[in-house]
Amino acid sequence: MDKNVQELHQLAVKNLANSFSPYSNFPVSAVLQTKSGKVYTGVNIENASYGLSMCAERVCLFNYVNDGAINDPIETFLVTGKTNNPISPCGACRQVMVEFLDKTTNIVLTNVDEIGRAHV
């Protein structure tokens, strides 16, 4: 694992503490880095009306869009959680990822202890 991915992983693991997941007790964190080096984060945010909850992956991507960085391609997109194996995005998150990531994006699916890799 290269140093840059290690640093993004450490940030994602640290941000798990910011997850608002009192209903599922399933904290998830996502971090992306653009080609220019900007970093955006997101954690899952639950609601008692579960359908109104938002996944970490989408929060992260929406922060990127909200910051006006859409013309700065995403170089690395990393997701982590407190799972036994590397975590995988849900279908809704995958659909949003397809909108903003391209074939060159390094997608890293992890847990807090190990690194896994996936490709678009």
pLDDT over 90 at 117, yes or no: no
Q: Which candidate in 57, 75, 99, 114 is catalytic?
A: 57
Tokens for 102, please give them.
């391209």
Q: Looking at domain 3-109, which CATH architecture does it have?
A: 3-Layer(aba) Sandwich (3.40)
**Structural domain boundaries of the chain?**
3-109
Catalytic residue status for 57: yes
Average pLDDT rounded to a whole number, residues 103-112: 94
* Dihedral (CA of 106, 111, 115, 119) sign: negative
Average pLDDT rounded to a whole number, residues 32-59: 97
pLDDT over 50 at 120, yes or no: no
pTM: 0.94
Contacts with 98 (C-beta within 8 Å, 6 or more apart), sequence order: 120
Q: Please write the tens of the pLDDT for every residue from 57-103.
A: 999 999 999 999 999 999 999 999 999 889 999 999 999 999 999 99
